[in-house]
């Protein structure tokens, strides 16, 4: 399931004056288009396009600032609707999800009937349109959901699969980017079906491990299961900065906000983490990660912040940073038995006190809304989007 | 430089230093062994910058000099060498030949001037200890080691104490990983002149090398000079740079009056722990011990696998105590006990449980419960 021009559609839904108009959501973030309405797409405007360029293409373009909280709220409702069809729902982004409906025929009818029911229920309950693709595996379902957009419903039955693959443009296949596509064009491959004309070994020699994957996909084999989100393996928060920076102080403020987000997610899911990872992407798009592990699992935002800050300080900032993020891994449920220490440890006591403070803040936020109490550092920069 | 050396002697020494030279340090040359030939001997030096080995071997030296050569490669070559005599000579520009009549190796050495300075000890006040006993003490102590990135000196190091005012006089090692602790006393023979001195912290990494270095018989001489812990046998010396730091007050943990002392046969208890640890995994390590009137029940529940339970008759008549432990830690503590019977001392689920032998009190382990 893939929502149609999600952010733009939400804006048009909430403000009738915007309906039928060329609209993009974006602006605040690096000045690029986050989503474009179908009216705007007719002018060749698409996501990730710089705003100024979009303006050139369509002078009467309306630009709306994103309201992420509203999108998240609707996304949550849509995911809940999907879960009424099957417990196996895997959200892949705010507006896309895989749903495993195998074995649900007696409940929901044929694939076609199920697909229609999903679309109808989403439209009735949110007022938004979606596109659905139904296929024997995940990768074809994703491609099918992209067909006949907006308000599309595309079904690829096992019998239709070989023909569908034979004519499927190779650039539609997930994982085929500009480079791979160029290489494949060089080999005379335009559609996924043409992959089958090549021996697997040769594909692997030219494309590396991805060659195996492409061959499998060309044969219609994709066994990746639909995984529900409940089994979190890691919790993370990352931000692409508005401007690349090597300013330690600016980055530290980001880390503080992200550490709080990660710690809040850990607490919400009753988890503790044994490993914290700092992720940095430099201006040249190279990604760097640095990790720290504890013998005992941790949870407090301050512990996470102090650890990531140490990792950041140890990292030689020779280039400006484009993206910064904090991740927590090695997650252990809170109620898991924990080895006690022989000696009273000042650090451990300190950590426990911070955890207590975090919990008190959670309680305040729950009662008076998030942002009712924030750290001084974050309040100053207004980073908590508490305007709402 | 040119000398001929016995294969057996060389292999013997090289096997002892592999742990040191194999450890990565900030200097590339520490993977080399330095060989200095003079008179009728070759002096050997290896270091990882914390622990330093020095030894000498008899050799027939044709021309004195010094080389530094990869200890790993030299060991592999010497071990497989077909004849019992190995000729080592340096030609020019640090090229080293290792040969006999038929086999010939031509290896690039490193600049001996880059080799780090090693401590020299002339007048160390050493005292003798039986090798086998010291080896046993070290092995029991380094069994408990820290996990992860813990850099605290009291976890990375073993506390070494000389208790000269106690009767009989003894040396003691205390080791902890933060949640368990062991104490081992080695009673010194009457003829050993153990001088009094401060308690020191010796890194467990270095002690690991010591346990390989000392043999199973005879005696070794031990001493402390400046910041080094020194162990000498006839031909070789090992010097470990000690750690600086505070050691926690361990006395109040292992010497206590309260608690219930329960005498148990070691073997059946160990077998029970083994059975109850089968369902423990890396992510779920706890087993719940319930001490009740005459019975110890152990119950291991792993939400991913299932549960197990076993009862054992014990000599206990206090109130019911429930505490969770990592059975693996418990078994390791038991392994240190040599008596047929052990004494388990438990107070509550908040205080460490103590384990020692029913007769031999030289070794004691303390083990903190888990919080459930």
| pLDDT per residue as tens digits for the range B242-264 | 999 999 999 989 998 888 999 99
Q: In what order do the strands lie in the sheet with B363-367?
A: B200-203, B157-163, B170-176, B180-187, B363-367, B353-357, B341-346, B260-265
User: Is B206 part of a structural domain of the chain?
Assistant: yes
Q: How far are the Cα atoms of A82, A167, A244, A355, A380 from residue A305, in angstroms, in the given order?
A: 36, 51, 21, 13, 18
Which CATH topology does A79-155 take? Alpha-Beta Plaits (3.30.70)
- Residue where one domain finishes, among candidates B241, B273, B300: B241
* Same-domain pairing of B101 and B142: no
Among B124, B345, B99, B332, residue whose Cα is nearest residue B239: B124
Choose from A343, A348, A352 for mutation: most chain B CBs within 10 A. A343
The tens digit of pLDDT for each residue in A279-296 reads: 998 888 888 999 998 877
Mean pLDDT of B139-144: 92
pLDDT at B75 over 90: yes
User: Can you tell me the distance from the alpha carbon of B189 to that of A288, in angstroms, rounded to the nearest whole number?
Assistant: 58
Residue of A nearest to B324 (CA): A337
- Residue where one domain finishes, among candidates B241, B273, B297: B241
Mean pLDDT of A263-282: 90
- Nearest Cα of chain A lies from the Cα of B371 at a distance, in angstroms, of 5
Which CATH topology does A161-218 take? DNA polymerase; domain 1 (1.10.150)
CB A13 within 8 Å of CB A4: no
pLDDT at A387 over 50: no
Domain ranges of chain A: 2-68, 79-155, 161-218, 234-381
The tens digit of pLDDT for each residue in A127-176 reads: 999 999 999 999 899 999 988 888 999 999 989 988 889 888 888 888 88
Chain A residues with CB inside 8 Å of B155's CB? none
pLDDT value of position A134: 94
User: Is B119 part of a structural domain of the chain?
Assistant: no
Q: Do B253 and A342 touch (CB under 8 A)?
A: yes
Please give the class, per CATH, of domain A2-68: alpha beta
Q: How many folded domains does chain B comprise?
A: 3
pLDDT value of position A29: 53
pLDDT value of position A229: 61
Chain A residues with CB inside 8 Å of B254's CB? none
Looking at A101-105, A152-156, B58-62, which range is the least confident one? Answer: A101-105
Query: Could you tell me the CATH number of the domain that includes residue B179?
Result: 3.10.150.10
pLDDT value of position A230: 57
pLDDT value of position A232: 62
Interface of B with A in 134-193 (CB under 8 A): 146-150, 176, 178-181
> Cis link prior to A150 (omega < 30° from 0)?
yes
DSSP assigned state of A32: B
pLDDT band at residue A235 using 50, 70 and 90 as cut-offs? confident
pLDDT band at residue A28 using 50, 70 and 90 as cut-offs? low
Chain A residues with CB inside 8 Å of B181's CB? 342
Q: What is the ipTM score, two decimals?
A: 0.79
* Same-domain pairing of B300 and B215: no
- Residue where one domain finishes, among candidates B215, B241, B267: B241
- Nearest Cα of chain A lies from the Cα of B370 at a distance, in angstroms, of 4
Choose from B159, B174, B179 for mutation: most chain A CBs within 10 A. B179
The pTM for the full model equals 0.68
* Same-domain pairing of B106 and B141: no
Residues spanned by the domain of B313 = 257-367
What burial letters (b/e) apply to B282-314, b meaning 16+ CB within 10 Å? eebbbbbbebbeeebbbbbbbeeeeebeeeeeb
**3-state secondary structure (DSSP) of residue B63:** strand
Looking at B90-104, B146-160, B358-372, which range is the least confident one? Answer: B146-160
CATH architecture designation of domain A234-381: 2-Layer Sandwich (3.30)
pLDDT band at residue A297 using 50, 70 and 90 as cut-offs? confident
Element (H, E) at B76: helix B71-79
User: What average pLDDT does chain B have?
Assistant: 91
Q: Do A342 and B371 touch (CB under 8 A)?
A: no
Residue written as token pair 């699969």: A161
Chain A residues with CB inside 8 Å of B324's CB? 337
User: Is B246 part of a structural domain of the chain?
Assistant: no
Quote the percentage of chain A above a pLDDT of 90. Answer: 27
pLDDT at A384 over 50: no
pLDDT band at residue B291 using 50, 70 and 90 as cut-offs? very high
* Same-domain pairing of B73 and B148: no
Q: Which of A11, A39, A90, A96 is catalytic?
A: A96
User: Is B131 part of a structural domain of the chain?
Assistant: yes
pLDDT at B287 over 90: yes
Q: What is the phi/psi pair of residue A220, to 5°?
A: 80, 15
Q: Do A340 and B366 touch (CB under 8 A)?
A: no
CB A37 within 8 Å of CB A12: yes
A11 is catalytic: no
Chain A residues with CB inside 8 Å of B248's CB? 342-343
pLDDT value of position A373: 80
Tell me which of A383 and A254 has the higher pLDDT: A254
The tens digit of pLDDT for each residue in A86-101 reads: 888 888 888 999 999 9
Q: Do B149 and A293 touch (CB under 8 A)?
A: yes
Count each helix (H run) and each strand (E run) in chain A, helices first. 15, 13
Q: Do B179 and A293 touch (CB under 8 A)?
A: no
User: Is B145 part of a structural domain of the chain?
Assistant: yes
User: Is B372 part of a structural domain of the chain?
Assistant: no
Interface of B with A in 347-366 (CB under 8 A): 350, 352, 366
Tell me which of B292 and A180 has the higher pLDDT: B292
pLDDT at A183 over 80: yes
Among A113, A85, A88, A108, residue whose Cα is nearest residue A98: A88
């Amino acid at each position: 399931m893939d929502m149609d021009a999600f952010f733009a559609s939400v804006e048009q839904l909430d403000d009738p004056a915007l309906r039928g108009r060329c609209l993009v959501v974006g602006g605040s973030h690096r000045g690029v288009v986050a989503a474009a309405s179908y009216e705007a797409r007719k002018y060749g405007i698409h996501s990730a396009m710089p705003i100024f360029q979009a303006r050139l293409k369509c002078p009467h373009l309306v630009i709306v600032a994103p309201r992420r909280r509203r999108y998240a709220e609707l996304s949550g409702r849509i995911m809940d609707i999907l879960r009424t069809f099957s417990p196996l729902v895997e959200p892949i982004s705010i507006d896309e999800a895989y749903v495993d409906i195998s074995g649900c025929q007696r409940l929901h009818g044929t694939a076609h009937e199920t697909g229609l029911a999903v679309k109808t229920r989403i439209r009735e309950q949110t007022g938004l349109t979606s596109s659905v693709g139904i296929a024997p595996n995940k990768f074809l379902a994703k491609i099918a959901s992209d067909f006949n957009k907006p308000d599309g419903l595309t079904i690829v039955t096992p019998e239709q699969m070989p023909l569908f693959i034979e004519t499927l443009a190779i650039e539609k296949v997930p994982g085929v980017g500009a480079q791979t596509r160029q290489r494949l064009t060089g080999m005379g491959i335009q559609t996924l079906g043409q992959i089958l004309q090549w021996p697997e070994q040769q594909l692997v020699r030219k494309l590396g491990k991805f060659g195996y994957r492409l061959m499998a996909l060309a044969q219609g084999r994709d066994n990746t299961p639909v995984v529900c989100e409940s089994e979190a393996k890691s919790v993370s928060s990352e931000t692409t900065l508005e401007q690349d920076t090597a300013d330690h102080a600016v980055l530290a403020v980001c880390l503080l906000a992200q550490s709080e987000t990660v710690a809040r997610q850990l607490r919400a899911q009753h988890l503790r983490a044994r490993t914290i990872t700092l992720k940095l992407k430099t201006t040249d798009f190279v990604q760097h990660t640095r990790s720290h592990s504890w013998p005992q699992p941790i949870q407090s935002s301050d512990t996470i912040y102090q650890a990531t800050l140490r990792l950041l300080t140890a990292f030689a900032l020779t280039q400006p940073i484009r993206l910064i993020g904090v991740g927590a891994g090695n997650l252990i449920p809170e109620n898991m038995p924990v080895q006690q220490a022989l000696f009273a440890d000042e650090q451990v006591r300190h950590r426990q006190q911070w955890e207590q403070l975090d919990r008190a803040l959670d309680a305040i936020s729950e009662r008076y809304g998030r942002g009712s109490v924030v750290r001084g550092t974050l309040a100053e920069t207004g980073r908590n989007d508490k305007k709402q | 430089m040119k000398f001929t050396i016995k294969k057996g002697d060389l292999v013997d020494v090289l096997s002892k230093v592999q742990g040191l030279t194999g450890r990565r340090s900030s200097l590339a040359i520490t993977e080399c062994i330095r060989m200095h030939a003079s008179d009728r001997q070759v002096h050997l030096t290896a270091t990882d910058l914390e622990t330093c080995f020095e030894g000498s071997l008899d050799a027939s030296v044709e021309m004195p000099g010094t080389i530094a050569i990869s200890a790993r490669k030299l060991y592999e070559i010497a071990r497989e060498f077909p004849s019992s005599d190995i000729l080592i000579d340096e030609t020019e520009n640090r090229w080293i030949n290792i040969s006999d009549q038929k086999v010939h190796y031509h290896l690039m050495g490193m600049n001996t001037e880059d080799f780090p300075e090693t401590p020299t000890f002339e007048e160390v006040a050493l005292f003798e200890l039986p090798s086998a006993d010291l080896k046993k003490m070290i092995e029991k102590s380094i069994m408990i080691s820290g996990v992860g990135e813990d850099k605290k000196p009291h976890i990375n190091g073993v506390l070494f104490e000389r208790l000269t005012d106690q009767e009989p006089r003894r040396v003691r090692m205390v080791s902890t990983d933060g949640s368990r602790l062991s104490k081992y006393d080695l009673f010194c023979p009457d003829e050993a002149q153990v001088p009094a001195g401060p308690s020191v912290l010796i890194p467990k990494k270095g002690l690991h090398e010591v346990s390989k270095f000392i043999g199973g018989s005879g005696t070794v001489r031990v001493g402390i000079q400046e910041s080094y812990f020194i162990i000498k046998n006839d031909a070789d010396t090992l010097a470990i740079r000690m750690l600086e730091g505070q050691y926690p007050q361990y006395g109040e943990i292992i010497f206590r009056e309260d608690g219930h002392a329960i005498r148990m046969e070691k073997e059946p208890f160990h077998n029970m722990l083994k059975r109850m640890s089968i369902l423990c995994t890396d992510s779920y390590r706890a087993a719940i011990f319930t001490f009740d009137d005459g019975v110890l029940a152990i119950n291991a529940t792993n939400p991913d696998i299932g549960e197990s339970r076993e009862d054992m008759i014990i000599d206990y008549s206090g109130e019911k105590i429930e505490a969770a432990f990592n059975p693996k830690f418990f078994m390791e503590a038991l392994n240190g006990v040599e008596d047929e019977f052990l004494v388990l001392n438990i107070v509550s689920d908040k205080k460490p449980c103590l384990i020692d032998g029913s007769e031999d009190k030289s070794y004691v382990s303390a083990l903190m419960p888990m919080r459930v």
